[in-house]
């Protein structure tokens, strides 16, 4: 059994529940910096999407324009035909926006091809539009596709309707039975599983399918 809270403890507990969590100072909106070209005195390889030596460009170094430069200043790449600025490449948000705009543009009908294109300003249908609607579909000489019929199968009731006496098995003297062999041929054989001539074909008959 727990001890009953005093009025002071109840008040402190109630005040603690009223305390709200401090608002986060982290901004919920992230602004993308604007794309800017690298400074004129920068090394283009530092802003390029390729690593040095992996692109097919032919770089021009600062020492080509000023032979007196030495060290890192001389090795600075000032121009390259294979330069691809990483800062100007679209980010994920820009790619999604471009894809959405391309999809919306593809769904819009071209001018004069929309559902209201056949109506002029006063709501009337132009004569040429009426002519287009009255055109009958063109007939073709192509025959409709008709699937080929399946293979003819023998009558499954032929065994029940057959009352022919095919004799007895020479080994077990049991009556021989007519059984199916394939689609075109039936086989007369012994159906006694304990007989040495079990399933031995005595003769063949037509199944009724040619």
Residue 97 has pLDDT above 80, yes or no: yes
Among 85-99, 151-165, 173-187, name the most confident range. 173-187
Let me know how long the chain is. Answer: 210
Extract the tokens encoding 210: 């040619």
pLDDT digits (tens, 9 = 90+) for 126-145: 555 555 556 666 666 677 88
Tell me how far CA of residue 169 lies from CA of 67, 187, 189, in angstroms.
Answer: 113, 14, 8
pLDDT digits (tens, 9 = 90+) for 20-56: 555 555 555 555 555 567 777 788 788 787 776 677 7
The whole-angstrom separation of Cα 38 and Cα 44 is 7
* Secondary structure (3-state) at 9: helix
- Collect all residues with Cβ–Cβ distance below 8 Å to 208 and sequence separation of at least 6: 154, 155, 158
Q: How confident is the model at residue 118 (pLDDT cuts 50, 70, 90)?
A: low
Residue 117 has pLDDT above 60, yes or no: no
Give this prediction's pTM: 0.30
Residue where the block lists tokens 């986060």:
24
Backbone angles phi, psi at 189, to 5 degrees: -155, 175
- Compute and round to an integer the Cα radius of gyration of the chain: 46
């Amino acid at each position: 059994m727990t001890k009953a809270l005093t009025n002071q403890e109840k008040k402190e507990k109630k005040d603690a529940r009223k305390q709200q969590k401090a608002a986060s100072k982290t901004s919920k909106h992230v602004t993308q910096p604007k794309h800017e070209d690298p400074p004129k005195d920068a090394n283009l390889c530092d802003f390029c999407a390729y690593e040095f030596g992996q692109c097919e460009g032919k770089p021009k170094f600062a020492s080509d324009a000023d032979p007196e430069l030495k060290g890192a200043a001389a090795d600075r790449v000032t121009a390259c035909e294979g330069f691809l600025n990483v800062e100007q490449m679209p980010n994920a948000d820009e790619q999604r926006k471009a894809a959405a705009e391309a999809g919306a543009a593809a769904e819009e009908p071209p001018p004069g091809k929309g559902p209201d294109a056949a109506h002029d300003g006063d709501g009337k249908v132009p004569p040429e539009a009426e002519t287009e609607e009255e055109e009958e579909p063109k007939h073709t000489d192509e025959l409709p596709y008709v699937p080929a019929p399946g293979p003819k199968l023998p009558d499954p009731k032929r065994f029940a309707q057959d009352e022919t006496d095919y004799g007895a098995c020479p080994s077990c003297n049991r009556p021989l039975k007519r059984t199916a062999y394939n689609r075109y041929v039936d086989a007369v054989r012994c159906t006694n599983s304990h007989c040495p001539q079990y399933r031995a074909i005595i003769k063949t008959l037509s199944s009724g399918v040619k």
